[in-house]
Amino acid sequence: MNAQRFPLRAPADGARALQLTGSTTLLPRMQRVAEAYMETHAVRVVIDDGCGTARGYKALLDGTTDIAMASGTVPDDLAAAATARGVAFHTTVVTQDAILALVHAANPLATLTLLQLRNIFTGRVANWRALGGQDAPIEVLVGPPTGGVSSSWRRRLLGDDDTFTPLARVLGTNDRLARMAARPFAVTYLPQMTLPTRRVKAVRVDGIAADLAPLAYPLHAPMMLVTLGAPALAAHRFIAYAAAADAHHA
């Protein structure tokens, strides 16, 4: 895996190493937690630059990481592989992050219902005029299917019976933000942890703003730390620290 590793600061010589990889969404938060953890614990925490939730789960199965960072549930094929080997993923939710529905800043719409969003992302509604907006086609942008946030958005918004419109353009986070800023009739989703540009705005969902009423906001992704089987002592201690740090707004 040709990835950068963070943090660069290491504790005392002889300290044990704990490896993390996975979700790009959770990566910045875990970098901060790891830096703080190493200040007081003789464990070197090595975090691979984010490679995505699915690859984090796979790294656990391959034995190349101690902890996977995940922002969605395990993909079906990796769950089946774990079952075939007689092992199970052990997950700890360290926080929940809102998944924002994003439109261009010039879009006059300020709120959409869950049903309207479902109709947009399935392609049942293809023009903003049907939603009270301008007479223009809706350009749907989605993330890679192996991404944890994409998995959470699809599951919570579409359920098991619907799929994204085949006209949706699949792009990574940075490419989606760039295209959103340049395309006034585009729509996408991103975790709240990913700060959008000023040319992109989050709409309320069913009248609820994620930043004003986070508990009532209906679309979330679990931010998890995962091990293969019960975590070893070093991993258990770090996971407990990370969960407590989030509770104290670390």
Per-residue pLDDT tens digits for 133-191: 999 999 999 999 888 999 999 999 999 889 999 999 999 988 999 999 999 999 999 99
pLDDT value, residue 194: 80
Asked whether the whole model's pTM tops 0.85, one would answer no
Residue 1 has pLDDT above 90, yes or no: no
Comparing 90 with 214, the larger pLDDT belongs to: 90
Residue 12 has pLDDT above 50, yes or no: no
For residue range 31-85, what is the model confidence (pLDDT) as tens digits? 999 999 999 999 999 998 778 999 999 999 999 999 999 999 999 999 999 999 9
Residue 13 has pLDDT above 50, yes or no: no
Domains of the chain: 5-96+223-247 (3.40.190.10), 97-220 (3.40.190.10)
**Region label for 205, one of left (φ > 0), alpha (ψ between -120 and 50) or beta (otherwise):** beta
Comparing 249 with 221, the larger pLDDT belongs to: 221
pLDDT value, residue 50: 74
For residue range 130-142, what is the model confidence (pLDDT) as tens digits? 999 999 999 999 9
Query: Cα angle at 44 between 40 and 46, to 5 degrees?
Result: 130
Residue 9 has pLDDT above 70, yes or no: no
Query: Cα angle at 119 between 75 and 129, to 5 degrees?
Result: 145
Please state the separation of Cα 236 from the chain's center in Å.
22
14-28, 82-96, 226-240: which has the minimum mean pLDDT?
14-28
pLDDT value, residue 196: 67
Q: Report how far apart the first and last C-alpha atoms of the chain are (Å, whole number).
A: 29
Among residues of the chain, what percentage have pLDDT more than 90? 77
